[in-house]
Chain A
């Protein structure tokens, strides 16, 4: 009766309705599109906050659009009506994730058990894009279950049910990982890695990043430019004791705070400086860079 404050989707029914903003860095859109046409699984590499997830969302939206451009100025509502839209199933991986968390499991109910498909199974069945974020976080025995889905077989074995599910036509596996942790423990197995078309992401060049910030936070060019510069400078410190450079995401956060009237220097301090490091010396250094760039 009453209008709900939130919208609820079944995991396999979520589609990206609005066009997400995405500023391409090079030919990744074309590559992704081509790979999708050929149903080749895709691996996205890159540091945190460069826009991997956004890219997947964008591609899910873009690939859902009819190929022919809308002729008469009016937006064709059909493009988003769920028929042609490609569902996007996102799973954030973590180290305790088991195969059942992906495939599905029996649940107990009053008089027996009930099987529930996991997100991966759902994506396979509806033919959506299954996006496994930070795949290296998952245990290696978990990741092997995606192997049959990522080669010519395109099938998922559900051993508890004794079933094999052939992937629906639209299904695509996309995984991401952050090679920043150069650690033998947190590396993809070669047998996994070599099933994907790999796209590398790095922080966008300042000009592009500026556009992104400007768009995402709706700030003026000057602020956006300065934030992009700040990001660039901070990333120079990656070899000087900073684990990760400042992500585009935190720059956008800073921009949003500025948009809300927070003084730029302070906004950078809370959104950028304190977020990227706990080391006091480093914080001071970054602060000095901030005060050099922002008046």
Chain B
């Protein structure tokens, strides 16, 4: 040991001095660092080593122009490194760095810089290997040097979480990658450093995967790192290892979208029940060999499938999938993607859940039968999406015409139980309609009670139903209350009630409480009624009630007022035995029980419910909403006989609750009580009771509002007062039925929500107005003509391609046809037409009679035929015997040409058909609709309004007359026929109105629908023809005819190129007719456009058409044409 020599350099002093001198050639930093390091090392190294060390520094510095920087780093790192390496190794380290410097000084810089940190985690013997790993990444280019440097820099970080073996393999995988792309390798390096610490024990497996992947499909590696850092890390280690193992095997069979796999699979695994996760991954390995592409799908679909199936059913389903794969490996992916019928069937069979879509039609018919009304059944999401006040997708509800049910019923293990559940909730909703929940009339007397409603006064704001109410109020004014002047400012008339329900709820100071009571009371009435009327349902209904009862919250935990409400809910669910209520209110509870019980009377009406609600409200509203100790609750015995109403009901007392509180009212609800009594200051805010699940949501006020609109406009006489936006806003503010989802904080947020809801509601009401029904299911949406293909997303919509004659090709999925049933109007027009043309009708009938009967029945009494007509023969013999001249017409023959015709009439309902047929009276505004949909509506309305006053006949009227005359004759022939109208605005809004479907039987509705044929928008013939063709091809008939009646050339917004080439529309129409012909449909076009000859020649080519020179000839000509056409 010579390290303790007094002269540190010992004998080597001169040499050291030379080195020092040499180093002066380089930038001063080198020498500074040298000196600093020297002073540290001189005592720690043997002189020889020290010399070597110094020599290395010199060598490094001199290797290349910039290598002095490497030297500086070398010197800087040396003391730290020396502490970790035995001296031999230390010099080796220097030598390795020196070699690196030969290749690239910057490599050496990074190496040295990283060394002190790296070496704390690296065994000395691996230094060489480490250096080589980095070195291997360097291939002389700038990018490669960057990568290698980066590798060194990050090494300490990597080594923190990796063993050296892992580290080596990672380095190798980087090499593989770097051969493809340095950038990619570099990115992965960075990501890896962040990822590895989070992978726990699975680093090794992951590195293997990444290595394999780099070899198989290097491009996927980046996404692997990307997704691994979010997905794998979120997974529990046990599943992670398994997933990695699967991944390796996938790579081996060239399934290389591993990043995607990890992302999807991790997410999926985390979304299946914990106890099934391991099993799922086990199952996922099964198709690895036979159908590797199914593996990912199996895992990612699992959460979906498990929504419908139990784990054991899932395995069953998977078995079926494996069987499918065994039969044909290609079928795997489709099976697991649920795209094969086999898979769906198996799923359906297994899942006990009932999907609404499968039973929707059934329930619709069922509910229509029960309620005697035309009821629609739809998923709850459809009404929630409308954003008009309904928010809960799990609760059944109705707005009076449609019953909304949750999308799946799966609360029971058996399918029929689940269907039974649907039946129960659908019946409940349907009975709201059947038993008149929404027909509440404020002024209709109840059947069981003394009516309090007429004497009640509105709570907060005295609605001024014009003068009457005001006067009444003034008269009945309780001292101290004068009719508030303020109302005058609000403008009396606007606050007239929109609905009777609203008027009723306005009587309650606390509307929420009022609604809650009314809801449970009305539901009680319904339930009793249902159990009485529908005994077949009773068993499952009672079971459902029992079920719901079990779910109720503990009554003792509720504040008193809520407890009282809960008491009623439990009563309504037929709890037996006893129910606890706050002990101060047991008398009230018994009284409530008596009232509620009265509603099980069969004749009880919704007005009775209202009266009961009123009375209960009067009893409960003053109950403080305090939580009280459990001991304060006392049982109310439900087996007791219901106490007789021993004393006269004190109606005054009840009435005091209504209007009497007017003093303090006028602020927000609920505040009134606060000012009254001090003890209520610490009262808890009142919460509505939990919904009874099978009863769903009950929104009588909204339902009345919505159904009122459709009814108002249905009776035609006199325009109904249009509902103003202000009125609606008022309703929305007051109504407690509207849950606005998560209430947004702050006034502004609420206002915004309110506005949105208001807008939606206006939209909804406009749609419900039958006068507006033509405007389709939503606002017209502009789809640019340049845009791409469209999808038929809504029911009853169809997409069709369009022919672009310039491109000489179809534009796929270009037009959306919206099919709608025509609304019903008045039958008057139909009758008038038949009367007006009675002569013509007879004529047509005779003509048809002449041709038709013999064509399809056995023809008797012929001179020649297939066989003797026995009757005729006998008659003939008898005639001979009796001496009269016998007839020789004694044969019959069956006419072989059985008439088998299906015809679709396609009526042009474009705006231009509004033109008067008499040129002089032609309205001034010609076809020139504004382009903007909003303006267009205004324009259209004005046109329609004009139409109402017209005294002249329009083209469309003539069309209607023709079709009426023809149908009356068609009924005679037994031909199958459909009547359709078309119009539209833009390719996304081709409207196709069904006046009569091909298979539909004639009914009194048909004339009413004919009445509604009216000029609408533009003429996009192509899609209408295609749609009519598809209808024709669905019926079974020997000859199929497409009979179009139009008033001019096809035109529509964008039904041209650059809006000028009229040929575009004409060509598309021609192609559409051609397609029809290929389908075996005979097209025929009848037009009343005098200029029709020019374009019809192009449009129809060799197909038949006719141009009527005199439009008034149409009713005469149409039946003739039809006869000629069908007699072929």
Contacts and interface: CB of A to CB of B under 8 A. Distances in A.
Interface of A: 98, 105-108, 112-113, 182-185, 226, 229, 233-234, 236-237, 239-241, 243, 265, 281-282, 284-286, 288-295
B882 interface: yes
A162 B368 CA distance: 59
B365 A292 contact: no
A237 B369 CA distance: 5
Contacts of A239: 374
A98 B860 CA distance: 12
A288 B878 contact: no
A183 B533 contact: no
B369 A294 contact: no
B164 interface: no
Contacts of B1001: 182, 243
B368 A237 contact: yes
A294 B974 CA distance: 41
Contacts of A241: 365
Contacts of A185: 971-972, 974
Contact of B538 (A108, A229, A284, A295): A295
B882 A281 contact: no
A234 B366 CA distance: 9
Nearest to A236: B372
B334 interface: no
B790 interface: no
Contact of A292 (B370, B881, B968, B969): B370
Nearest to B881: A113
B882 A106 contact: yes
B882 A289 contact: no
16 contacts: A105-B875, A106-B882, A107-B878, A112-B881, A113-B878, A113-B881, A184-B845, A233-B369, A234-B369, A236-B373, A237-B368, A243-B1001, A265-B536, A281-B362, A282-B365, A284-B362
B673 to A, nearest CB: 44
Dominant SS among interface residues on chain B = helix
* 3 closest residue pairs by CB, A with B: A285-B365, A184-B971, A236-B372
B427 interface: yes
A183 B1001 CA distance: 9
A285 B877 contact: no
B252 interface: no
A201 B845 CA distance: 30
B995 to A, nearest CB: 16
B874 interface: yes
Contacts, number: 90
A295 B845 CA distance: 53
A226 B537 CA distance: 13
B887 to A, nearest CB: 13
A105 B877 CA distance: 12
B871 interface: yes
B536 A108 contact: no
Nearest to B969: A184
A183 B971 contact: yes
Contact of B423 (A182, A233, A288): A288
A72 to B, nearest CB: 44
A286 B535 contact: no
Nearest to B973: A185
A179 to B, nearest CB: 11
B744 interface: no
Nearest to A282: B365
Contacts of B547: none
A226 B535 contact: yes
Contacts of B877: 108
A243 to B, nearest CB: 8
A237 B371 CA distance: 10
Contacts of B871: 98
A182 B362 contact: no
B534 A292 contact: yes
Contacts of B974: 185
Contacts of A233: 369-370, 372
Contacts of B472: none
B1040 to A, nearest CB: 22
B1003 interface: yes
A185 B972 CA distance: 5
A192 to B, nearest CB: 16
A226 B362 CA distance: 21
Contact of A240 (B365, B537, B969): B365
B449 interface: no
A184 B973 CA distance: 9
A295 B536 contact: yes
B336 to A, nearest CB: 31
B549 to A, nearest CB: 22
A229 B536 CA distance: 12
Contacts of B12: none
A113 B882 contact: yes
Interface centre among B371, B878, B972 (most CB of A within 10 A): B878
A288 B362 contact: yes
B535 A289 contact: no
Given A108-B877, A183-B971, A295-B535, 10 more contacts: A105-B875, A108-B881, A113-B878, A184-B972, A229-B533, A234-B369, A243-B1001, A281-B362, A288-B366, A292-B366
A292 B368 CA distance: 14
Nearest to A293: B536
B539 interface: yes
A288 B1004 CA distance: 29
Nearest to B419: A288
Contacts of A237: 365, 368-369
